[in-house]
Structure 1
Amino acid sequence: MSPDPDKDVEAVAVHSPSGPLYYRVKIGPFRLPYFASPIVQLLYVAVVFFLCPGLYNALSGLGGGGQLDATVANNATVALYSTFATTAFFSGTVCNKLGVRITLTLGCLGYSLYIASFLCYNHTKSAAFVITAGALLGMSAAVIWAAQTVIMISYPKESQKGKYIAIFWAIFNVGAVIGSLIPLAQTVNSEESGAVGDATYSAFLALTALGAIMAMFICNASKVVRTDGSTITLMQHPTWRSELLGLWETLRTDWYITALFPMFFASNWFYTYQFNDVNLARFDTRTRSLNSLLYWCSQIFGALAWGAFLDMPHLKRKTRARAGLLALFVITMGLWGGGYAFQRTYDRQSAPQQQLDWTSKGYAGPVILYICYGLFDAIWQTYIYWTLGAISNDSRKLAILAGFYKSLQSAGAAIVYRIDALKVPYMNIFASTWGLLAVGLVFAAPVVWTKIENHSEPHDESEGKGGVTADGTAS
Structure 2
Amino acid sequence: MCGAATMFARIDNFLANHSPAWYRAPSVQTATLGVVFFWVFAAYTTIQFYAASTYGPDLAADSVSAVYFCFTVTCLIAPSVTNKFGCRVTMFFGVLAYASLVLNSLIYFLYGGEDVRWSRRMVVVGGGILGCGASLLWTSQGRLILQYASKAEELRVLEEQDGVLNKSKTQTGRLMGLFWSIFQCSALVGGGVSFLYFNKKPEGSAALYCLFLAFILIGALFTQLLLPPSMLKTSGSTVSFNRTKSPSYSSLDLAERTPLYCNVDSGGQYTGEETEVSIPVVVADLSHQSWSEEARGTFYLFISKRMGCLLLLFFYTGFNQPYQQATFGNRFFTRRTIGAELIIFHLMEILGAIVIGRFLDDDKVSENYSHNKSFSKKTRARLCLGSFIVINSIGNILAAIQEYNAKHALTPTAHDILSVGVIPPSMAFACWGFADAQIQVYCYWLLGGFYSSGHDHARAVGVYKLAQSLGTSIGFFLIPVSRLGELSQLLCSTLVFVVGTGLSFQSTFFL
Give me the TM-score of the superposition, normalised by structure 1. 0.80
State the alpha-carbon separation in 2 of the partners of residues 406 and 247 from structure 1. 13
Q: Between Structure 1 and Structure 2, how many residues are aligned? A: 421
Q: Distance in 2 between matches of 1:18 and 1:124?
A: 47
Paired with 2:420 and 2:322, the residues of 1 have a C-alpha distance of 26
One-letter amino acid matched to 2:213:
L
Structure 2 residue 189 is the aligned partner of structure 1 residue 138: no
CA contact (8 A) 1:58 1:177 kept: no
The structural deviation recorded for 1:66 is: 4.9
Three-state SS of the structure 2 residue aligned to 1:393 is coil
Contact persistence 1:64–1:71 (CA under 8 A): no
Alignment of 1:13-32 (within 5 A): 20-21=15-16, 23=18, 25=20
Q: d(CA) in 1 for partners of 2:325 and 2:410?
A: 17
> Which residue in the other structure is 2:358 paired with?
308
Contact map agreement 1:110 1:141 (CA 8 A) in 2: yes
Distance 1:256 1:277, change over 3 A: same
Instruction: Indicate how the Cα distance of structure 1 residues 343 and 308 shifts in structure 2: closer, same or farther if over 3 A, else same.
Output: same
SS at match of 1:303: helix
Cα distance in 1 for partners of 2:145, 2:42 equals 16
1:58 and 1:382 mapped to 2: Cα distance? 23
SS in 2 for 1:52: helix
- Give the whole-Å Cα distance in 2 for the aligned partners of 1:341 and 1:71: 31
**Structure 1 residues 271 and 55, CA, compared in 2 at 3 Å: closer, same or farther?**
farther
Structure-1 residue corresponding to 2:343:
293
**Deviations 1:365-399, CA, capped at 9 Å, x for gaps:** 32232222211211121111111112122222121
State the alpha-carbon separation in 2 of the partners of residues 336 and 422 from structure 1: 19
- Consecutive unaligned residues of structure 1, counting only runs of 5 or more, are 1-16, 26-31, 453-475
| CA RMSD of superposed structures (Å) | 3.0
1:200 and 1:285 map into 2 onto residues whose CA distance is 20
Distance change in 2, residues 1:19/1:140 (3 Å): closer
- Contact between 1:101 and 1:217, CA under 8 Å: does it hold in 2? no
Q: How far apart are residue 437 of structure 1 and its match? A: 1.1
- Mapping 1:39-438, distance limit 5 Å: 39-60=27-48, 62=49, 64=51, 66-67=53-54, 70-118=57-105, 124-125=113-114, 126-156=119-149, 157=153, 159-187=170-198, 195=203, 200-220=208-228, 230=252, 231=255, 234-251=285-302, 254-314=304-364, 315-346=375-406, 353-360=412-419, 362-421=421-480, 423-424=482-483, 425-438=485-498
Contact 2:42 2:215 in 1 (8 A): no
CA gap 1:181/1:159 in 2 versus in 1, 3 angstroms: same
Q: Which amino acid aligns with 2:191?
A: S
Aligned AA for 1:180?
Answer: G
Give distance in 1, aligned partners of 2:55 and 2:500: 33
SS of residue paired to 2:421: coil
**Structure 1 residue 174, shift from structure 2 partner:** 1.1
Query: In the superposition, relative to structure 1, how do residues 200 and 270 fare at CA in structure 2: closer, same or farther (>3 Å)?
Result: farther
Task: Look up the equivalent residue of 2:428 and give its one-letter code.
Answer: L
> 2: CA distance between counterparts of 1:22 and 1:163?
29
In the alignment, is the contact (CA less than 8 A) between 1:325 and 1:441 conserved in 2? yes
Name the aligned partner's letter for residue 131 of structure 2: G
Once the two structures are superposed, the pairs formed by residues 450-461 of structure 1 within 5 Å of their partners are: 450-452=509-511
**CA separation in 2, counterparts of 1:39 and 1:368?**
32
Q: What secondary structure does 1:420 align onto?
A: coil
Q: Which runs of 5+ in 2 are unaligned?
A: 1-11, 154-168, 242-251, 256-266, 269-284, 365-374
Structure 1 position 324, deviation (Å): 1.0
Farther-moved stretch of structure 1 (334-343 vs 359-368): 359-368
CA distance in structure 1 between the partners assigned to 2:417 and 2:200 by the alignment = 12
CA distance in 2, matches of 1:410, 1:41: 26
How far apart, in 2, do the equivalents of 1:161 and 1:178 lie? 26
Q: Distance in 2 between matches of 1:117 and 1:282?
A: 33
1:50 and 1:172 in contact (8 A); partners too:
yes
How far apart are the structure 2 equivalents of 1:295 and 1:120?
33
Residue 140 to residue 360, structure 1, CA distance change in 2 (3 Å): same
Structure 1 residue 260 displacement after superposition: 0.7
Q: Secondary structure at the match of 2:80?
A: helix
Cα deviations by residue, 1:24-69 (Å, 9 ceiling, x for unpaired): 64xxxxxx5134x433322211100111135423444x46465495
Cα 1:362–1:443 change in 2 (3 A) is same
The 3 A distance-change label for structure 1 pair 205 and 279 is: farther
* TM-score, length basis structure 2: 0.74
CA offsets per residue over residues 258-296 of structure 1, 9 Å max, x none?
111101111111111122112233434432222222222
3-state SS of 1:358 partner? coil
Q: Tell me which moved more, 140-149 or 207-216.
A: 207-216
- 1:305 maps to amino acid: V
Q: Specify whether residues 241 and 429 from structure 1 end up closer, same or farther in structure 2 by C-alpha distance, changes over 3 A only.
A: same
Change (3 A) 1:412 1:324: same
**How high is the sequence identity, in percent, across the aligned residues?**
24
Query: Residues 428 and 195 (structure 1 numbering): CA distance in 2 closer, same or farther, change over 3 Å?
Result: farther
> Structure 1 residues 304 and 384, CA, compared in 2 at 3 Å: closer, same or farther?
same
Does the 8 Å contact 1:55/1:208 carry over to 2? yes
Q: Point out the structure with max Rg over C-alpha.
A: 2
